[in-house]
Amino acid sequence: MFKRYRLEGGIERFATAVFYGIMRRMGIYDEKIRELTGVKNVYLLDETLRNALRLSIELLKFRDLSNKQKKLVRSVLAGEIRTRSHPYASMFFWNVWDNLKNLDFTPKSREEELMYRYYVSKFYITKLIDLLGEEEAEEYLKKINQPPPISLRVHTLKGSLEEVKRELDRLGLEYRVSQRVPTVIKVFGSLDLDRFKPFKEGKVFPQEEASAAASLLLDPQPGETVVDLAAAPGGKTLHLADLMKNKGKIYAVDINEKRIERMKELLRRGGVKIVDLFVMDGREAPERLGEETADRVLLDAPCTSSGTIQRNPELRWRLRSEEDILEFVEVQRELMEAGWRLLKPGGRMLYATCSIFREEDEENVDWFLKNHPEARLVPLEKPYDPGFLPGTMRAWPHRHDTIGFFYALMEKKD
C-alpha cells in the first residue's frame, strides 16, 4: 500500500503504528461506536463510516495531534465517506465528531477493566475467569500480550538438533530447546526463515511445541496406517511421517484445496514419501478411505483457535458470543464420529484442539464417551496439566509458554 500510494517522509512508521493500534483496540472502539450511534451491531453501519469512526477514535484519543491536524482529519474523512458511500453518512460523521473527542474510556466493570488493559473481548475474559479464576486469568492475559518466540521443530528425517543449534549459534541468536518436546527449539529475537539454511534445506519447520506434542501423544509406529483428518497446513502430517521413519501410510485429509497444494511443497521439502493427500470434507473420509482401515487417527479439529491469541491477534475481538463457539461444536462432533469409523478395533484416536473453551474440549469428549461404550479414554499425564475431565490434558500459555491446547486420547476396544 505504501508503494502504491507513494507514501514518503516517515509516514510509513506512523501509519503502521495507527493501523496496529486500531487492530489491537478494535473491540473497544466498536463498543464506543455502539454507544455513540445506538446501533447494536457496528457491522450494520456503512463500512466506510464504520472504519472512519474507528480511525477517528484512534487519532483523537491515542495520538498527539494538533488542532489543525484534527480539523484536517475530520475534513478528509468526511470527504472520503461522501465519495465512497452517501452524503447522509458524511453528515452524520461531521455531527458526531465532537462526541468522539469526549468519549469516556473509564471501565464500568472488572471485565471491562481487563478488556481495556489487555485488549481482548469481554466475552473471552468472562470465559477465561470461569476456567481459571480471576487471579490466574490475569496471568494468562499478561502472557498473551507478550511477544512469542519463534517455535521451530527439527525434522529428523533430514536434519538433527545439533545441526540447527550450530546454525543458530553462528547467527548469534538466543534460543532454548523445549524440555517437553525435545525436537522443538524456541528462538528469541529476529529470524528470517527464508534465509535460514536449515529451513531452506527442509531440516526445520515452524511448529508450536503444544502442536508438536499432539503427534507424540498419538505415537504412530513405522509401518502403520494413520489418518490425519484435518491435515492442513501440514505440520502434524510432516511430524507423523518423521515419527514413522517414512514407513507405512498416512492419509492426509483437508477440505481446503489451496492449503493441500501448499502441503505438497511442504512434504516434498521434508522428503516425505508415505503421504496420500485428499481434498475432501473429513466427514466423508470413511466412505472414501474405508471403515476400520486406520491404526491411528489424528483429529486436530477445526475450532475457534481461542488458545492462539498470542500469535493471532485478529482473534482478540472475533470471539464475542456463545454462538461463535457452538458453530464449531457440531462439526467437531461429526468429525469425531468419522474418525472413529475409520479406526480399527484396538486402534487409537487423538482428539485435539487449539481452543481453551470447555464446549470444544472436555464437553465434546464427555459427549463422545457417553455415546460410544466401546471407547476407552487413555489417561494422559504429561507433558502438560490435567484437563477438566480426568484423563484429558491441557497446555496453557502462562503455565507452559506455548499456545493453549487440549488433548484426549481414546482407544477402540476390541
User: For strand 150-154 and strand 204-206, is the pairing parallel, antiparallel, or unpaired?
Assistant: antiparallel
Q: For the chain, what is the HEC assignment?
A: CHHHHCCCCCHHHHHHHHHHHHHHHHHHHHHHHHHHHCCCCHHHCCHHHHHHHHHHHHHHHHCCCCHHHHHHHHHHHHHHHHHHCCHHHHHHHHHHHHHHHCCCCCCCCHHHHHHHHHCCCHHHHHHHHHHHCHHHHHHHHHHHCCCCCEEEEECCCCCCHHHHHHHHHHCCCEEEECCCCCCEEEEECCCCHHHCHHHHCCCEEECCHHHHHHHHHHCCCCCCEEEECCCCCCHHHHHHHHHCCCCCEEEEEECCHHHHHHHHHHHHHCCCCCEEEEECCHHHHHHHHCCCCEEEEEEECCCCCHHHCCCCHHHHCCCCCHHHHHHHHHHHHHHHHHHHHHEEEEEEEEEEECCCCHHHCHHHHHHHHHHCCCEEEECCCCCCEECCCCCCEEECHHHHCCCCEEEEEEEECC
Grid coordinates given for 238 = 510432516
303 catalytic? Reply is: no
In the block, residue with C-alpha cell 521413519: 245
Structural contact between residues 275 and 241, judged by C-beta atoms closer than 8 angstroms: yes
* Candidates 298, 354, 356, 395; catalytic one: 354
174 beta partners: 188
- Active-site positions read 354
